[in-house]
Structure 1
């Protein structure tokens, strides 16, 4: 019998996306690949109902991912909503379904007798196999064997803590048999011969796996050394991909597996791409035509005298709730361009992709009828006072926005961006869709004064501090064999400002800091210079549109928040160690920024809480002019 386990729909994309291990009560499961998703398994009307209910359309993001991934991406799908609890025999709605999982890790142990047992990848949660049926003696030699107990008294097996994984995303069970028999590889142990037990020794040395058949045992001390599994796997990764089922094994992986804990933070790094829906893509008609079901129906509609049947299109427009003339005009525009897409997105880097958003925030406000997903109101920097105007160019209150987040792959041990291994695949065969979800929220968009930034860049101390971080970035990239990122003082400044503002906004806006996200817009290119940031809320629940963030951006409030943020940044409980630091945090990629003054929850930061320096914002005790916002401290 299957057991119903629940989580939010958006969590099915990240953090519990394809390939992630999720701890449920008494068991650990892995989110299954796209081949097993309900929309892939369903047929006929049920499939259509699921696609209509779960489909997310963002043609701008789809075009970008088509170029990056080298295959056509048409749309995105959210995890299906679970069927409502109903009486036995009641009809289940066709647009609801349960999401698929596989069992991983497959090794479980009994908390009573400590025996190790393998459980099949597709076993049900309430199956008899989840109960201990060991007829052998307990590891301490006391008590009655679990197998002699009545079924309702037998303890449930618990998943083991340790697994093995490589940078390419492969993951496999820890080799318990081989590890226990390191000293006696010739032992032919069978089911029920291996035990996982604890001893009085401290740490990993107190966890041992032993064989009752030959008497050998081995502690977990040393199991986490980087190359300790190389001999067991003959120097190569087995290439297991349990999220893709029994046929998911991949060959020719050159990475060496390492032991990790199944719940460790490095067991899963989701590769997520996000995008803000901007005009003209946010227009209602364009969103309707981007839907594969709508456009597909138009493409196959019969022609009359070589033209579309306009009466049918008018009826279609009325059913969709849009102006018929505008609807027909948009269709003809698409048909006159290659591949039926007037809003063609040329190949762009991440920098240029964000520049489109940058221009949209600074552009005119959309017509009233087109503000359901993008609505802005601009304020001149002068409205916030003279000091503020000398530091900023624009303040844009984003009353409505829609963000799409898409899972394109994942890695293990380290983020995909920091590894030379390609991200792990989400399916056996490439799909024309990816898992994603769309959330709505509000935000504040700020741009720095370009003239003031140019003057600030002339300070030698600013360049020296940036060069220190750049050197460490370059050394790290060289060690990992990845491209070197070019760091600019503007990016450190904008990023540090973002963190300081979010920390202050959490006190004043009504949002928790983990609910406020940053999106950075920085470029030193001559044709599209940028120095701006978007602070926004886009949560999967009602907290995304409280209105508190926009309210804090109004004249008379934002300047006070800005001053308070800088005054709080000037005082850190770890000073003077923090403000005088030449490197702290992961790989020493932060300067004057620590948990007490500058770091944010993981969900808020784009850069993994790295490349921060509050001295760039407020200056130091020795030189206050290094700080771009130092005048706000007076």
Structure 2
């Protein structure tokens, strides 16, 4: 990664982190200063194209672009004789505070004062005070930003003087009333005797920092745009400073070869079908039923339309994936060293136990390729794909380039385990009156959250999704103890599509390797043991009875998207969870101290 004004790299980071954590518009701390990662227009060097037609089609629709490409972030060639490659980073913020604090011995509170200085007042990266002493400085940790992703330095003089017309330019100080670093104990002071507590800049409705100027410094000079938002205080290193908006797909075998072969065998009957209803009618024939019994009418009709040159009904990201995973009766894909997908169903005899009675299939995904692309970012509040893996077109995301012609992407190769739940069992459970009544409590909590987040496009995912999501988190914890991967390396994909089916895919992958070592597959062969252990974990939490009895509407706890869920039981690393640890409730999975009686696994042990 290179500074704007020099070709010498100032730091390095993993290519996968560029997509997730340090993408365009994010802030990164370097040894001497902090930088803002530049937009795609400022990336240099040859880029490796990543091909994944299904993801590309979705991104083109989301961005409303006719032609788009995906490229991996540029990598360091490691050869000093070759042209430099990398990503331009702009120094940000431009305000610093001195590291040497002045403590007044006469003050009982021991106020610590540090000089607040602009970059233009530095000499060789240091500040020379009135005593000609050279002082080290560090970037100020407070900046201003808005919900549209714009960011900039705080105008400290107007802030402390509470006026845009003030002409005072005397030295500024940051006074800390204690050593906690809490905002409530920080005062910004000018030597003209004016001062102002920094906490006055905190909050959704505070206008202390003025109106946003639409600054997009990561895109380079003159990149500002109109903005009607009010600037808000942002801590550079806070977790809400940057949320990469990503979309990912699992690479699937081309045009589902198993469906194509099935249609081939029954083509003499299926070629006359003119609608999906005709497929259902032809299915009654013995010659047809025996061939296509593992596939839905939608899958067969889609193959028929594809053969006739039609586009068929567009499938969501997860719909296409679950259709492929449930089709893995014996084997699916190619077991080749460079293959993208290969899966085998694990015979039921290997995992058939009483507590597994509502699970109909376990698929070991030996080879898996996931492609992840970034199309923008948000600040203050994350914007996640919906439960079908689709990005919300209406999200007001910040741009990562002046003109979008390509997006950064990475490919992860690894392995996974897919668990398919009985559709009839899940639907019957969700239709129970007691489950519906309990679900209204979760919906009420979501409604309270929605009232506070009026700009959010998120929808209530439904009880089957919450149940599967909670089960997935318990299973991640259970499998991580034995599979050789930490829980933070195991990711999930929840499939809750009533028309197709229900399932959970746990997988792991690495962008810097050709695959993984098979630890997850080996654990998948004992999925019944891990499932039982997961269900036992869910029955009792170290925070019970507070956790089990949590009411989602509780304004004091402010966990509106949780039922019985906390850090002691269900919450896991956010790198693993596709919904940022929202929509969780173990009451829907197993019996707890709450005694709600709405658990899916009635015989949990």
What interval of TM-score do these two structures reach, taking the shorter chain for normalisation?
Answer: 0.7 to 0.9
Return the alpha-carbon distance in structure 1 between the equivalents of residues 245 and 310 of structure 2. 26
* Residue 367 of structure 2 is aligned to residue 400 of structure 1: yes
Q: How many residues in Structure 1 have an aligned counterpart in Structure 2?
A: 526
Q: 1:476–1:351: structure 2 CA closer, same or farther, 3 Å change rule?
A: farther
Q: Which moved further from structure 2: 370-379 or 529-538?
A: 370-379
Q: What corresponds to 1:474 in structure 2?
A: 447
Return the alpha-carbon distance in structure 1 between the equivalents of residues 94 and 562 of structure 2. 40
Q: Which runs of 5+ in 2 are unaligned?
A: 1-5, 102-113, 258-304, 386-391
- Asked if the contact 1:518/1:604 (under 8 Å) is kept, the reply is yes
Q: What corresponds to 1:321 in structure 2?
A: none
* Residue 578 of structure 2 is aligned to residue 606 of structure 1: yes
Deviations 1:405-450 (A, max 9, x none): 111111111123599761001111122x101111111110011122
> TM-score, structure 2 length as denominator?
0.80
Return the alpha-carbon distance in structure 2 between the equivalents of residues 624 and 199 of structure 1. 49
Q: What corresponds to 2:302 in structure 1?
A: none
Q: Which moved further from structure 2: 595-604 or 383-392?
A: 383-392
Q: Secondary structure at the match of 2:507?
A: strand
Q: What corresponds to 1:5 in structure 2?
A: 11
Q: What corresponds to 2:61 in structure 1?
A: 67
* Residue 492 of structure 2 is aligned to residue 497 of structure 1: no
Q: Secondary structure at the match of 1:435?
A: strand
Match of 1:547 among 504, 518, 530: 518
Q: Secondary structure at the match of 1:612?
A: coil
Match of 1:222 among 193, 196, 200: 200
1:9 CA displacement: 1.2
- Asked if the contact 1:194/1:209 (under 8 Å) is kept, the reply is yes
1:348 CA displacement: 4.0
Deviations 1:511-539 (A, max 9, x none): 100000000111123xxx22101000023
Match of 2:462 among 482, 488, 492: 488
Deviations 1:582-627 (A, max 9, x none): 2277542111111111111010101111111111111235758532
Q: What corresponds to 1:101 in structure 2?
A: 89
Q: Secondary structure at the match of 2:469?
A: helix
- Asked if the contact 1:198/1:206 (under 8 Å) is kept, the reply is yes
Match of 2:138 among 154, 158, 162: 158
What is the correspondence of 1:77-226 to structure 2 with a 5 Å cutoff? 77-84=71-78, 90-92=80-82, 97-112=85-100, 114-119=114-119, 128-134=123-129, 137=130, 144-146=131-133, 154-182=134-162, 187-190=166-169, 193-200=171-178, 203-212=182-191, 214-226=192-204
Q: 1:165–1:185: structure 2 CA closer, same or farther, 3 Å change rule?
A: closer
1:503 CA displacement: 0.5
Q: What corresponds to 2:564 in structure 1?
A: 592
Q: What corresponds to 2:270 in structure 1?
A: none
Return the alpha-carbon distance in structure 2 between the equivalents of residues 484 and 97 of structure 1. 39
Q: 1:7–1:422: structure 2 CA closer, same or farther, 3 Å change rule?
A: same
Deviations 1:49-68 (A, max 9, x none): x13xx221111100111112
Q: What corresponds to 2:261 in structure 1?
A: none
Q: 1:73–1:493: structure 2 CA closer, same or farther, 3 Å change rule?
A: farther
Q: Which runs of 5+ in 1 are unaligned?
A: 40-49, 138-143, 147-153, 284-336
- Asked if the contact 1:77/1:435 (under 8 Å) is kept, the reply is yes
Q: What corresponds to 1:563 in structure 2?
A: 532
Q: What corresponds to 2:269 in structure 1?
A: none
Deviations 1:438-482 (A, max 9, x none): 111111001112232233224323222222222332343355144
- Asked if the contact 2:473/2:570 (under 8 Å) is kept, the reply is yes
Q: Secondary structure at the match of 1:18?
A: coil
1:188 CA displacement: 2.2
Q: 1:131–1:602: structure 2 CA closer, same or farther, 3 Å change rule?
A: same
1:201 CA displacement: 8.9
CA RMSD after TM alignment: 3.1
Q: What corresponds to 2:301 in structure 1?
A: none
* Residue 487 of structure 2 is aligned to residue 513 of structure 1: yes
Q: 1:65–1:346: structure 2 CA closer, same or farther, 3 Å change rule?
A: farther
Q: What corresponds to 2:247 in structure 1?
A: 273
Match of 2:43 among 37, 44, 50: 37
Q: 1:266–1:541: structure 2 CA closer, same or farther, 3 Å change rule?
A: same
Q: 1:215–1:489: structure 2 CA closer, same or farther, 3 Å change rule?
A: closer
Q: 1:580–1:544: structure 2 CA closer, same or farther, 3 Å change rule?
A: farther
Q: 1:65–1:356: structure 2 CA closer, same or farther, 3 Å change rule?
A: farther
Q: Secondary structure at the match of 1:130?
A: coil
Deviations 1:59-78 (A, max 9, x none): 11001111121003432122
> TM-score, structure 1 length as denominator?
0.76
Whose helix proportion is higher, 1 or 2?
1
Q: Which moved further from structure 2: 409-418 or 587-596?
A: 409-418
Q: 1:373–1:408: structure 2 CA closer, same or farther, 3 Å change rule?
A: same
- Asked if the contact 2:417/2:524 (under 8 Å) is kept, the reply is yes
What is the correspondence of 1:42-57 to structure 2 with a 5 Å cutoff? 50-51=46-47, 54-57=48-51
Q: What corresponds to 1:463 in structure 2?
A: 436
Return the alpha-carbon distance in structure 2 between the equivalents of residues 133 and 344 of structure 1. 69
1:207 CA displacement: 2.4
Q: 1:179–1:343: structure 2 CA closer, same or farther, 3 Å change rule?
A: farther
Q: Secondary structure at the match of 2:563?
A: coil
- Asked if the contact 1:59/1:281 (under 8 Å) is kept, the reply is no
Return the alpha-carbon distance in structure 2 between the equivalents of residues 32 and 627 of structure 1. 49
Q: Secondary structure at the match of 1:100?
A: strand
Return the alpha-carbon distance in structure 2 between the equivalents of residues 218 and 483 of structure 1. 37
Q: What corresponds to 1:250 in structure 2?
A: 225
Match of 2:546 among 539, 561, 577: 577
Return the alpha-carbon distance in structure 1 between the equivalents of residues 136 and 312 of structure 2. 54
- Asked if the contact 1:63/1:73 (under 8 Å) is kept, the reply is no
Q: Which moved further from structure 2: 529-538 or 581-590?
A: 581-590
What is the correspondence of 1:226-241 to structure 2 with a 5 Å cutoff? 226-229=204-207, 232-233=209-210, 236-241=211-216
